[in-house]
Amino acid sequence: MAINSPEGTRDLLPDEAKFWAHFRDTAFGIFARYGYQPIETPLFEQTDLFVRGIGQATDVVSKEMFTAISGENLRRWVEEGKAPKAKSRLSLRPEGTAGVVRAVVQHDLVPQGAAPAKLMYAGPMFRAERPQKGRQRQFNQVGVECLGAEEPTIDAEAIIMLMRFYEKVGIPRDSMRLLLNSMGCEQCRPAYRELVRAYMDELCDTCMTRAEVNPLRAFDCKNPQCAAIMADAPKITDHLCDECREHYDAVKVLLDGAGVVYEEDYKLVRGLDYYTRTVFEVQVDNGMGAQNAIGGGGRYDKLAEEVGGRPTPGLGFALGFERCVLALEAAGVEFPRAQKCDLFVACVDDSVRARAFALVQECRDAGFTTEMDHQKRSLKSQFKLADKLDAAFVVVMGPDELAAGQVKARNMQTHEEHLVDL
Ligand code: HAM
Q: What is the mean pLDDT of residues 7-27?
A: 94
The percentage of the chain sitting over the pLDDT mark of 90, rounded to a whole number, equals 86
* Structure confidence at residue 230 (pLDDT): 93
Please work out whether the CB of residue 95 comes within 6 Å of at least one atom of ligand 1. Answer: yes
What mean pLDDT is reported for the chain?
95
User: Per residue in 278-294, pLDDT tens?
Assistant: 999 999 998 898 899 99
pLDDT at 338 over 80: no
Q: Is the pLDDT of residue 304 over 70?
A: yes
Mean pLDDT on 264-276 = 94
Instruction: Answer yes or no: are the C-beta atoms of 327 and 294 closer than 8 Å.
Output: yes
Ligand 1: centre distance to CA 40 (Å): 17
Report pLDDT for 256.
Answer: 98
Mean pLDDT over 358-384 rounds to 97
Residue range 56-69, pLDDT digits in tens: 888 999 999 999 88
pLDDT in tens, 103-139: 999 999 999 888 999 999 999 999 999 999 999 999 9
For position 287, what pLDDT does the model report? 85
318 Cβ inside 6 Å of ligand 1: yes
Res 175: pLDDT: 95
* Distance between Cα 124 and ligand 1 center (Å): 11
Q: How far apart are CA 209 and CA 198, in angstroms?
A: 14
Sheet containing 44-46: order of strands: 44-46, 90-92, 67-68
61 Cβ inside 6 Å of ligand 1: no
> Do you know the residue count of the chain?
422
Q: How confident is the model at residue 35 (pLDDT cuts 50, 70, 90)?
A: very high
127 in contact with ligand 1, CB cutoff 6 A: yes
The residues, any chain, with a CB within 8 Å of residue 115's CB and separated by 6 or more, are 148
Dist. CA 372–CA 306, nearest whole Å = 58
The mean pLDDT value for 382-406 works out to: 96
CA atoms within 13 A on the CB side of 176: 27
Please give the pLDDT value at position 201.
Answer: 86
Query: Does 141 sit in the ligand 1 pocket, CB within 6 Å?
Result: yes
**217 band by pLDDT with thresholds 50, 70 and 90:** confident
Distance CA(390)–CA(371), nearest Å, equals 11
pTM of this structure? 0.92
**Does 123 sit in the ligand 1 pocket, CB within 6 Å?**
no
Cβ(369)–Cβ(345) under 8 Å?
A: no
Nearest CA to ligand 1 atom 11: 320
Residue from 285, 323, 326 to probe ligand 1 pocket by mutation (most atoms less than 8 Å from CB): 323
User: For the range 21-26, what are the long-range contacts, defined as Cβ-Cβ under 8 Å and sequence gap of 24 or more?
Assistant: 22/336, 23/142, 23/169, 23/321, 23/324, 24/122, 24/142, 24/321, 26/165, 26/168, 26/169
| pLDDT-based confidence at residue 210 (cuts at 50, 70, 90) | confident
What is the mean predicted confidence (pLDDT) over 195-199?
A: 93
- Say if ligand 1 is within 6 A of residue 298 CB: yes
pLDDT at 209 over 70: yes
Q: Indicate if the pLDDT at residue 400 is higher than 90.
A: yes
302/383 Cα distance (integer angstroms): 63
Pocket test for ligand 1, best of 23, 120, 125 (most atoms within 8 A of CB): 125
Please count the other Cβ atoms lying within 10 Å of the Cβ belonging to residue 289: 12
* CB contact at 8 A, 239 and 184: yes
**Tens digits of per-residue pLDDT, 74-106?**
999 999 999 998 888 999 999 999 999 999 999
pLDDT at 397 over 70: yes
Confidence of residue 40 (pLDDT cuts 50, 70, 90): very high
